[in-house]
Structure formats: structure tokens, C-alpha cells
Structure 1
Amino acid sequence: MKFCDECGSMMKADGDEWVCGSCGYTEARNEAEESDMTTQQDQEESDIVDMSDVGEEAMGPTTEIRCPECGNDRASYEMKQIRSADESETRFFTCTECGHKWREDDH
């Protein structure tokens, strides 16, 4: 993965150069530098975990919130700090009925 030196966006390989989709900056590709990069092809696929037999108590805490997919009014949740420390945590929800996942951020 390569990031743009001008704007910090992720760049994409296009032939013999890296191209930034945000600002248009280009940079020549370096084979020696790229040999240390990890690509999606290098990574193993993870197994799908079947959670259908797991009881609600093992899914973690639940809350009353409407699922945008099926309308169910209950979801398990977890909170993670994914932004800088002075920002609030992000809440991740999983519908207890259909398994739909979504997140909620404070704005």
C-alpha cells in the first residue's frame, strides 16, 4: 500500500507508476520498495464463523435500537476508539434478528 506524499490519500498502481485518485499526484513505482509491501493476494482468507448457535448472553450486551435492515428493535453492540483520543468512541451494532451490522458515530 502506498500513500500520496502530497495529500496522504491511498494511491493505486497504474502500469509503471502510482497514481493518487484524490489529487492526481503520480510517482514512479519502485520494485525493491514494493517487495516489502503486503498485498491482498498475500493474505490468507479467514474462515466464516457460524454464530447461529450462540446464545444471546454470549453475544455481549444488547440495547434497544431499530435495525435499518429488518426493523427489529434489539441489537448487540460494542464500542471502539477508532479515531483520535479526543473524539468519542464509535458504536458497532449487530441485529439480534438478521445479523445486519452497522455503526454509529457522534458528529
Structure 2
Amino acid sequence: MGAKRKRYTPAYRRDAAHLVIDTGRTIVEVAREIGVGEALLGRWVAAERARMDEPPGRRAGPERAGRGGAVTSRERPAAHGPGGCCCKVGAVGRAT
């Protein structure tokens, strides 16, 4: 039988992410120190940064999936409107 999967509380994930965000240490350093995988800690850091950047009163995630996760014209930057796009052509030759 396989080993049980570890479960981490939301508070633990937040605290671990802030070890990277607040101290400026790398994800690799912190992951080794606390004994979690680098990819896992990286996801926690990305999620916490996104949560910190989110305006108050606005929710992200499944609660907003009512329109299939599509971005509306109100959420697009102005340069992505009907007048064209400000994006540069990516390395693979496609507009990003």
C-alpha cells in the first residue's frame, strides 16, 4: 500500500508562501528548509501573490466560473480592445 498524501492547511500554505515573498529567499531554499517540493511551494507562492494582488471584494476561482472563465471586454486592458492589440509577436511566431 502507498504512503498517505500529506495535507497542508491553508494557513500553513500562506505562511510558507510568505517565507519566500517577505524574505526574498528563493523557492528552492525555502522548500528544502520546510521539507516540501519546490513545485508545490511555487504553486503556493503564485496563489498567494495572486490573492495579494486581487482587489478587495473580488473573488477568483470557481465562484466566477459562471461565464466559463472567459475574460470580458471590461476585464481586458484597453489596448486589447477593438482597435487592436499591443502584444508583441512571441518567440514561436504567434501573437501573445
TM-score w.r.t. the length of structure 2 is 0.22
Which structure: greater strand fraction? 1
Q: Which is greater in Rg?
A: 1
